[in-house]
Structure 1
Amino acid sequence: MKLKKLPHQSDLMFLTDAGLETWLLFERGFDMPCFAAYPLAQSEEGRAAFTDYFSAIFDIARRNGTGFVLDTYTWRANPDWGHELGHDLSHLHDVNRQAVKSAKEMRTTLGKGLEVLVNGIIGPRGDGYDPKSIMTVAQAQTYHAWQIEVLAGAGVDMVSALTMTNVPEAIGVANAAAEVGVPCVVSFTLETDGRLPTGERLQDAIAQVDDTAREKPAYYMVNCVHPEHFDDSISENADWKRRIGGLRANASRMSHAELDCCETLDDGDPVELGTQYAQLRKLLPNLRVFGGCCGTDQRHLAQICTAMAS
């Protein structure tokens, strides 16, 4: 089987989805314990919502001539969060495999004529905003290996670890992916000061993972942070910024602590967000992947595409 080119191996721009969880919670009114999307796939109503959500984004990609990195709904489908939701490993195994199967079916039915990559999503073991306890690299590798092996076995094109809060966990994910030979992307989340929740600068975190991991991640992303919170940390002549291949920003300028307490959706300004993406692209020469995170939806993606094309 011919391996698909990943975004960093191509000149094509790739769209991702937006804030799936916030869209499901605030726009569709689903009950989402632990902010987990995967349980919704067990109901007809939930599956229909996924189709509605992704269909609109496929259309945006088609209108704008981009590829599409199609994420699985498995950000919370790991052992600890599954246990919190009352699901054992056998159930989670089926959830992860079904998520990949569903993504492949979507690629066939909705992605005709598009370059679509099925991306197995890994989430943090703990809170994506507050790393209360930090694993060692070995512990992180062992923990995340289970889900990565299931996703790889189901045939994903790549895996991405979103909202990573600390360096050892990111290295562990990269090592686990290398062990089974699946390309890996690490996406760090940042605070309003442009640093990881553990205090490291983004450039230092990238350097540590690149220097320590068994194999370097294919590229890095930043997600779940507003562009204004980190744009001034990217200097004109910094080599490390070439390792950043993707961005999935929040619509809101709120801090993670404020977002945690927010009972209404802050969807920001889609046009302004698009402009900020275009400005960041001038600083990030290898930015190929763009989408959204908390508070964003199809409106934001459409504006981002418009701004990036101008």
Structure 2
Amino acid sequence: MARQLPHESQKKYLVYAGTGTDLIFNHGIELPGFASFPLLEKPESRAILANQMKAIVDLAGEMKVGCILDAPTWMANVDRAAPLGYGAGQLVDVNRDGVALMEEVRQAAGHDDVLVSACIGPRYDPYADIPPLSVEDARQYHSAQMSSLKDTSVDLVTAYTFNRPSEAAGCILAARNVDLPIIMSLVVETDGCLADGTKLVEAIDWIDAATNAAASFFMVNCAHPTHFSRALKNHPRLKGIVANASICSHAELDEADELDEGDPRQLGKQIAEIARDNPSIIVFGGCCGTDMRHLKSMARELS
């Protein structure tokens, strides 16, 4: 059945995109290349993925808000999965299986405001020094993963951690071509700008112009509130913030041997303050370094 998406609803939604660091530092699970989709292959690790999402479903039900369940498919595209031994044919099954697991969690949830999303990642490491990707090249590249999601129970796709406007635009067009609603989540540096120096709101406007505003809306993820709070500008198309626990830069986090979990209570207060200044924001969540303590703090402060 067709479900209301966040921008069509009057509810707030929670999302948890910090599963990777939780798996590594709190569960002691190795993630080669930061890919979590190989965990779908074993019952014990599959159960851990399901329990991560069950926790956010339970919290959302307790707080009477909606939630978005992201399938563990951020790295399940051709170039980033190839070093792990996965071919294009296998990735079709991986993407479908990730959605199927989230559907199992939804069916067990017991309330209606649960959306299943397929998590889409950029073609390359977003923090690497790589050549630019044109809008058309990005559209063709991301079309493979989008096509694999057709005829699944997925409600939408969420593209996380994109920091190149041209690739973001191409990814949005690939989703449009298969009639999948898409949330585009951009990532900023400590100065609130994308990696190429583009201001966040300027990037959103450029992407919308290049795609005829085909994205459902935009979010920011994988950055601390102190990095992006001044960059949001109450932009009407920016409706989600998915924050890191740590104030460290991406380079510092990449080199860290220990988890920087920040201050969950303070993070909740910072998110609530941003929500007051940017009333168009309806999706809130945690990214790297966060766990249910951070999400509970956000939900409590937002309520």
TM-score scaled to structure 2, two decimals?
0.97
Per the alignment, residue 8 of structure 2 pairs with 9
Instruction: Provide Cα deviations, 1:155-196, integer angstroms capped at 9, x if missing partner.
Output: 311111100011000000111111111111110000000000
Per the alignment, residue 275 of structure 2 pairs with 281
The one-letter code sitting in structure 2 at the alignment partner of 1:292 is G
Among 139, 159, 175, which residue is 2:173 paired with?
Answer: 175
Per the alignment, residue 201 of structure 2 pairs with 203
Instruction: Return 208-217 or 72-81, whichever deviates more.
Output: 208-217
Compute the displacement of 1:234 (Å). Answer: 3.6
Per the alignment, residue 301 of structure 2 pairs with 307
Per the alignment, residue 93 of structure 1 pairs with 92
Instruction: Provide Cα deviations, 1:130-152, integer angstroms capped at 9, x if missing partner.
Output: 35222100100000011011123
The equivalences for 1:139-288 within 5 A come to 139-235=137-233, 241-288=235-282
Per the alignment, residue 63 of structure 2 pairs with 64
Compute the displacement of 1:18 (Å). Answer: 4.0
Compute the displacement of 1:215 (Å). Answer: 4.5
Alignment of 1:134 with 2:132, yes or no, is yes
What SS does the corresponding residue of 1:242 show, helix, strand or coil? coil
Aligned-partner Cα distance in 1 for 2:280–2:129: 29
Aligned-partner Cα distance in 2 for 1:113–1:21: 26
Moved over 3 A (4+): none
- Please tell me whether the aligned partners of residues 245 and 260 of structure 2 are also in contact (alpha carbons under 8 angstroms): yes
The one-letter code sitting in structure 2 at the alignment partner of 1:60 is L
Alignment of 1:25 with 2:34, yes or no, is no
Compute the displacement of 1:51 (Å). Answer: 2.4
- Please tell me whether the aligned partners of residues 162 and 186 of structure 2 are also in contact (alpha carbons under 8 angstroms): yes
Instruction: Return 255-264 or 144-153, whichever deviates more.
Output: 144-153
- Please tell me whether the aligned partners of residues 207 and 213 of structure 2 are also in contact (alpha carbons under 8 angstroms): no
- Please tell me whether the aligned partners of residues 50 and 102 of structure 2 are also in contact (alpha carbons under 8 angstroms): no
- Please tell me whether the aligned partners of residues 120 and 159 of structure 1 are also in contact (alpha carbons under 8 angstroms): yes
Compute the displacement of 1:243 (Å). Answer: 0.8
The one-letter code sitting in structure 2 at the alignment partner of 1:217 is A
Question: Cα RMSD (Å) of the superposition?
Answer: 1.2
Alignment of 1:116 with 2:114, yes or no, is yes
Name the % identity: 40
Aligned-partner Cα distance in 2 for 1:160–1:55: 19
Aligned-partner Cα distance in 1 for 2:55–2:186: 27
Aligned-partner Cα distance in 1 for 2:129–2:45: 30
- Please tell me whether the aligned partners of residues 232 and 238 of structure 2 are also in contact (alpha carbons under 8 angstroms): no
The one-letter code sitting in structure 2 at the alignment partner of 1:298 is M
What SS does the corresponding residue of 2:184 show, helix, strand or coil? strand
- Please tell me whether the aligned partners of residues 17 and 70 of structure 2 are also in contact (alpha carbons under 8 angstroms): no
Compute the displacement of 1:114 (Å). Answer: 3.4
The one-letter code sitting in structure 2 at the alignment partner of 1:121 is C
- Please tell me whether the aligned partners of residues 174 and 215 of structure 1 are also in contact (alpha carbons under 8 angstroms): no
Aligned-partner Cα distance in 1 for 2:137–2:212: 15
Compute the displacement of 1:153 (Å). Answer: 3.0
Q: Which runs of 5+ in 1 are unaligned?
A: none
- Please tell me whether the aligned partners of residues 225 and 271 of structure 2 are also in contact (alpha carbons under 8 angstroms): yes
What SS does the corresponding residue of 2:68 show, helix, strand or coil? strand
Q: Which runs of 5+ in 2 are unaligned?
A: none
The one-letter code sitting in structure 2 at the alignment partner of 1:83 is A
Compute the displacement of 1:221 (Å). Answer: 0.3
The one-letter code sitting in structure 2 at the alignment partner of 1:261 is E
Compute the displacement of 1:214 (Å). Answer: 4.5
Aligned-partner Cα distance in 1 for 2:50–2:218: 28
What SS does the corresponding residue of 1:195 show, helix, strand or coil? coil
Aligned-partner Cα distance in 2 for 1:105–1:308: 28
The alignment covers a number of residue pairs equal to 303
Compute the displacement of 1:93 (Å). Answer: 0.8
Aligned-partner Cα distance in 1 for 2:219–2:150: 20
